[in-house]
Structure 1
């Protein structure tokens, strides 16, 4: 007979995630699933108990991991933290539920160990930037606050996946599917640019794909308003963004912030969508940056024979090294992709949504 609760059990009860009845049920299931000679109460570990609790759907895997570490706080302001989604340019992103409204949303948290004057200022810039934007292809901000010393912002929760995971799972997309996704992302970028906001971290992981097959651009953690760029970049200059998707001018002059750099990054993202590879896949960060400056990527037709020359030309023009030679605006990208969007028909969004749904279920 057990005389005391384990770390997981104590944390589960203290947090309110588990009841004594649920824990005892999981214990009973574990004991009954094994011959008595092979498993005693003392030999049952927290890991085994956690797996049983997850199998019974009393908690999810992320909650189980937290409880095994003795963590008991699963609230933030008016929100109950349900699961971890991932991490963005600045902070972790969680799935949460508003305690009173019952609404499921995404919560981005600035970690305490990263909290300093600069990170708080950047986080607040992200909040202000997102608060000013309202577009169907941008993730909407709904709330922002602090809980003690923890800063967090709340956005709509987008069921589905992101473009990076979608391509990793299902392989390169068709021209029509890629055109629809990138065109919607370009519409979001074009709107943001008209508001004076430069994203600075456009990449597949920041393009969310909904279960309806629509695209939402997310993560403004590195975004900056063009009229604030001079003040922000007056600090010691460093390259901002992700090496696989950085425009050459950002590498050469990190202090310069222009909307056309987002067009280049979106071109790299389109390249990835139809080839399944980043433009310069090998080497370390320094080598990738050098190749962004000096090399031409492998023609997408060589990696995916279904890419036709005219589509590849759009990618090439989005990824021109010199900004003056590049497709000038996100709105122009939308126009250039329109033939493939038009030929895709109404069913293409559904086909994209099906892929996103399969990815979500895995």
Structure 2
């Protein structure tokens, strides 16, 4: 099944050495699909902070991998081949060649986390894009490529017509992770004060979602200042700039000053900064809730914490890892329903080819780009100029 001629090989930007430029390679395009699998033509792949950590090697503490790999796990593909039994998306919508989809890492549906806990993101047998070697079949297992193989157990959802391809790509990791975090932390009320640590893609999406859900006051912390302007347009009632509050205690004091000396009802950590967790503890009120999402594990990430403080303050502290197909669906619907309220295009203004993938990573690391968009093909469908 195809809407276009499918080549026997395609180009991919491959990580062969941590910190080194990505290497453009020709890799086989699978001609035969397993039952439940799909082959998609990548229309856009957005760069995630996890791609940066994969590139520099700091993700090794949280996820095993064997090089070479294709970076990228947030992407939109148009269906070009459909394996047996893969004629519908996870929610029952028919799939046809040319349909745009987002798709998940593949959980096994057999382990305790999948079957008993209903937490497939903790699956002990999960197949991951960008962590799976591209040196063996099915080869195309990352978003920085012209085509990608959709694992048989990957959840998949059609992208609504009203959602631009690059918005959907960003939603397929950053926003779905934010949605998962909000689902886990529980209801936000109109009288709640919310602190968002971080003004990167996750923090900005979180600001918009907190605003949409009706939080009474939203304080977004981050840098550079042009991102804080986006946060304000996304609903932040207050912002704290890292340039004005360069030290952890400065930021704690700034938040408490804004809130009249009181801590926030809910704090979300989306920054990934080493000191962010202890800072967040200083920003939360007694009995408050703290969601930690931006942190990765590894050497040098340890911070001192006083457990008695958590006990005495009676805090609820939770973590979120990744997201599954329900969060993808909700993220896409949020973008679809609020596209006239929030300028999602402000998060994805710049385009790069596969040949410039390393430049895209470097610009994101330097905070010169919020979320770069890789466009593998010369005339991508659905991506704005």
TM-score, reference length from structure 1? 0.28
TM-score, reference length from structure 2? 0.27
Q: Which has the larger radius of gyration?
A: 1
Structure (1/2) with the larger helix percentage:
1
- Greater relative contact order (Cα < 8 A, sep 6+): 2
